[in-house]
Amino acid sequence: MEKVNIAQKLSLVHEYWSPRIAGELNDTYVKLAKLKGEYAWHQHEAEDQLFLVVRGNLVIKLRDRDILLEEGEFMIIPKGVEHLPVAKEEVQLLLLDPKSLVNTGNVRNERTVEDQWI
């Protein structure tokens, strides 16, 4: 057992949209990521996903509305819900993802990453 300093771990993340694993809890990874720009519309067929904003502001676009997440706020995206994360400026994020989750969901592109620890 070791404590994790989120800011220190985030300082090791140098690429946007490339989540890194900082810990695991049961069948869930605790991931840290930096985001900037617009992602791609996608969904996760079998997994819910938690987005917690550590620094910055993140817009989660849904097909029927946009949700602004500010520092210290989180949102759970239920499985099967199509969403588009947008970060006008750099956002630092903590994600809780089931181990089976692929970061780009049902879309495969250059932002699809394999699980990597920091």
Give the range of the structural domain holding residue 20, as residue numbers without chain letter: 6-98
3-41 pLDDT, tens digit each: 999 999 999 999 999 999 999 999 999 999 999 999 889
pLDDT of residue 62: 97
Q: What is the pTM (predicted TM-score) of this model?
A: 0.85
Residue type present at position 38: E
Q: Which amino acid is at 56?
A: G
* Cβ contact 40:58 at 8 Å: no
Does 104 fall in a domain? no
- Structure confidence by residue, pLDDT tens digits, 42-89: 888 888 999 999 999 999 999 999 999 999 999 999 999 999 999 999
- Tell me the CATH number at 20: 2.60.120.10
Question: For residue 117, is it within any domain?
Answer: no
Asked if residue 74 is part of any domain, the answer here is yes
Helices (H), the chain: 6-10
Tell me if 32 is assigned to some domain. yes
Query: Mean pLDDT for the chain?
Result: 89
Asked, for residue 115, whether it belongs to a domain, the answer is: no
Number of domain units in the chain: 1
The answer to whether residue 49 is domain-embedded is yes
Number of DSSP helices (H) and strands (E) in the chain, helices first: 1, 7
Amino acid in the structure at residue 98: P
Which residue, among 7, 22, 17, has the nearest Cα to 109 in the 3D structure?
Answer: 17
31, two tokens: 């991931």
